[in-house]
Amino acid sequence: MKKTILKSMTAMAITFSAVAAPINVLSMEAVQARAESVKPVYKNRAEIPEQYKWKLEHIYPTKAAWEADIKKATDLANQFTLHQGKLSTSAKSLKAALDDYSTLMRIHDKAYVYASMALDVNTSNAELQDLADRAEKMSVAVKEKTSWLGPEIVAIAPLRITAFLRNEGLAPYRYFVKDILRTKNHTLSKDLEELLAQSTPLADNPEGIYGMLSKDIKFPKIKDENGQEVQLTRSNFISYMESKNREVRKQAYEAYYQTLAQYQDTFAQTLGGKVKANNLYAKARKYDTAMEASLTPNNVPTKVYDELIDTVDKSLPLMHRYMELKKKMLGVSELHMYDIYTPIVQANDSYIPYDQAKEMVLTGLKPLGEQYGKLLEEAFNGGWVDVYPTDDKRSGAYQWGAYDTHPYVLLNYEGTKDDVATIAHELGHAMQSYYTNKKQPYISSNYPIFTAEVASTMNEHLLWESEYKNAKTKEEKMYLLNQRLENFRTTLFRQTQFAEFEKVIHEKEQKGESLNAEALKALYKEINQKYYGPAMISDEEISMEWARIPHFYYNFYVYQYATSFAASTALAKQILDQGQPAFERVRDNFLAAGNSSDPISVLKAAGVDMSTAQPIEETMAVFKQTLDELEKLLNEK
């Protein structure tokens, strides 16, 4: 995950759990090796060795230095209002305002990131809570003082702004200004814009109600693998769906979705309300559809969305074939939706020490060249990465930072294979941020969401290729092949399935059709059956899955997971096939591009045209190749 500071006008001592072996059985070297292979447990942050913690002092050496920037950002925000009403007077005036805006926002970002990241690794610290609160208040004030900039640029007469942009002094700002002007036809009068802005909390109510309802629902108890009664919850649902015991999976599946069905009408009202709001805002801004209203501000043509759904739909026979294989490998007479999460090949789940994980990542990313490898070493050894979890560290993983800092990566490393992939993933974000900040001016350094996941998943593809190449046994290879197939299923197929459902429900509401619970259930089950094919028993419970997906409240967001996966698959293959020239093309035209051009053009220059079906077709070829290889290994004696 990449956390961003938005720059647009519209958003701105170790305790081991090891038992020592007798010294006469193992050499001292062997004892040391064993100790290093056991998962370390840290009670608090003070126990973690310094080499495993990021160095926020690289941003501010003292609290006083941070305090100075908080004050400076506030002062500069107040001074920035002096530019208001003067942008149209001359190119010089516009440049002066944009120069000051860049200066202000660079300080804002640096101060905000520091306070937020300091709290993320020590959430119970009252002093750090105070810092984060003050940073948030500073940020709100800055946004209020700069909110007029976009509308005033839009208000400049077309011929006048065109003449201004010919001025060489405004060269660094041309794309930024043109990007604001691009949606001018969908910008309303000042009064209407204010009215829409004031109505935003109402439009967000369905998501808030959905979140509260989802949190408050109590699920029944089920019996686990040992026959013990356990409480089913939202957070442990998937872990029970991954159980080797089929009865446990079935219990969890039925209990979860049958419980959701008890609230189906409320869920339908919340989702329907969000869809209505999206369609209303699209109509108000003179867009033909809500999808167009969502994609256009990000400079992504609606053709990309449609091309994704059409191409994946044509490739569904491959997905159906994978389900047939899964059914065979699980040895079941009927394949149900509660069977798809359990692994068909068991993994070696022994702990992977962090230093070993680093070497795995460095080896896997060698195709990206010597310079990239040296940057990875700098990240690992130079205070970029915060590695181990503690009770008061926030969960998950992300990459963050500001224009005037090196990238930072937060991990909660537990030593699993997935954790190794997460390191590669987050460092992909970090390298994109590094290259972008080196090449681009501040104003065009914030790469968009559409491209944000490409660099990270490209690294995951390369890591997988390295692990598969170095796999020693048939079992290892089969595990890795199944892992890749599951990545395809959950990212390319499943996210496209969600995207298709999202598109259809908006179209139905726009036509005046009801989005009641029964209509949503029937539609979702129909699409699910299409994606999983005849080998899958599409149980009635799956018709309620839409009520478990919060992404349906994010307004045409999920398709980007699938497009990023396709683009990164294509780029990883080019780098493996063509070597350093391909990586240099990717580095210079994509990793270092930031927001200097629209995302489709950036990816096209890197070597993948997402306005066509080709990248998705090439990705499907990789899926087929992986499926062929797993079937081949299964048939070997």
User: Cα 614 to chain center, whole Å?
Assistant: 23
CATH 1.10.1370.20 fits 288-344+466-637, yes or no: yes
Using a 10 angstrom Cβ sphere, with 0-12 exposed, 13-18 middle and 19 or more buried, the burial of residue 633 is: middle
Alpha-carbon span 9 to 3, nearest angstrom: 18
**Looking at 152, 207, 307, 426, which residue is catalytic?**
426
Cross-strand pairs, 15: 41
Alpha-carbon span 619 to 72, nearest angstrom: 49
Q: 10 Å Cβ neighbour count for 475? A: 14
What are the tens digits of pLDDT across the range 148-177? Answer: 899 899 999 999 999 999 999 999 999 999
Q: Could you please report the per-residue DSSP string of 312-330?
A: HHHTHHHHHHHHHHHHHHH
Q: 10 Å Cβ neighbour count for 343? A: 14
Active site residue 426: yes
Long-range contacts of the stretch 516-520 (C-beta < 8 A, 24+) = 516/265, 516/268, 516/272, 517/264, 517/265, 517/267, 517/268, 520/268, 520/271, 520/546
pLDDT-derived band at 302 (thresholds 50, 70, 90) equals very high
Q: Could you please report the per-residue DSSP string of 148-186?
A: THHHHHHHS-HHHHHHHHTSGGGGGGHHHHHHHHHTGGG
Is 149 within 8 Å of 71 (Cβ atoms)? no
User: Is beta strand 15-16 parallel, antiparallel or unpaired with respect to 335-336?
Assistant: unpaired
Average pLDDT over residues 312-323: 97
Lowest-pLDDT choice from 35-49, 154-168, 503-517, 526-540: 35-49
- pLDDT score recorded for residue 25: 32
Is 599 within 8 Å of 564 (Cβ atoms)? no
Reply yes or no on whether the pLDDT at 418 is more than 60: yes
Q: Could you please report the per-residue DSSP string of 18-87?
A: --PPPTTTS-HHHHHHHHHTSPEE-SSGGGS-GGGS--GGGT-SSHHHHHHHHHHHHHHHHHHGGGTT-T
DSSP 366: G
Reply yes or no on whether the pLDDT at 2 is more than 90: no
Would you say how long the chain is, in residues?
637
Using a 10 angstrom Cβ sphere, with 0-12 exposed, 13-18 middle and 19 or more buried, the burial of residue 363 is: middle
Alpha-carbon span 289 to 555, nearest angstrom: 12
Positive or negative CA dihedral for 622, 626, 632, 636?
positive
* Helix, strand or coil, per DSSP, at residue 217: coil
Question: In CATH, what number does 56-190 get?
Answer: 1.20.140.70
Alpha-carbon span 378 to 46, nearest angstrom: 23
Reply yes or no on whether the pLDDT at 204 is more than 90: no
Reply yes or no on whether the pLDDT at 427 is more than 70: yes
Average pLDDT over residues 584-590: 97
Domain boundaries, the chain: 56-190, 288-344+466-637
Of all residues in the chain, what percent carry a pLDDT higher than 70? 94
User: Cα 536 to chain center, whole Å?
Assistant: 29
Identify which of 344, 343, 340, 342 has the alpha carbon closest to the alpha carbon of residue 532: 340
CB burial readout 202-240, b (16+ within 10 A) else e: ebeebbebbeeebeebebeebebeeeeeeebeeeebeeb
What is the number of alpha carbons within 13 Å of residue 586 lying toward its C-beta?
30
- pLDDT score recorded for residue 259: 97
Alpha-carbon span 244 to 36, nearest angstrom: 30
- pLDDT score recorded for residue 188: 81
Is 435 within 8 Å of 428 (Cβ atoms)? no
SS (H, E, C) 512-570: CCCCCHHHHHHHHHHHHHHHHCCCEECCHHHHHHHHHCHHHHCCCCCHHHHHHHHHHHH
Reply yes or no on whether the pLDDT at 403 is more than 90: yes
Angle among Cα 348, 349, 355 to the nearest 5 degrees reads 105
What are the tens digits of pLDDT across the range 432-485? Answer: 999 999 999 999 999 988 998 999 999 999 999 999 999 999 999 999 999 999
Question: Higher confidence at residue 17 or residue 204?
Answer: 204
Is 620 within 8 Å of 485 (Cβ atoms)? no
- pLDDT score recorded for residue 197: 75
Question: Higher confidence at residue 520 or residue 140?
Answer: 520
pLDDT-derived band at 422 (thresholds 50, 70, 90) equals very high
Alpha-carbon span 8 to 305, nearest angstrom: 23
What are the tens digits of pLDDT across the range 68-78? Answer: 999 999 999 99
Alpha-carbon span 582 to 574, nearest angstrom: 6
- pLDDT score recorded for residue 250: 96
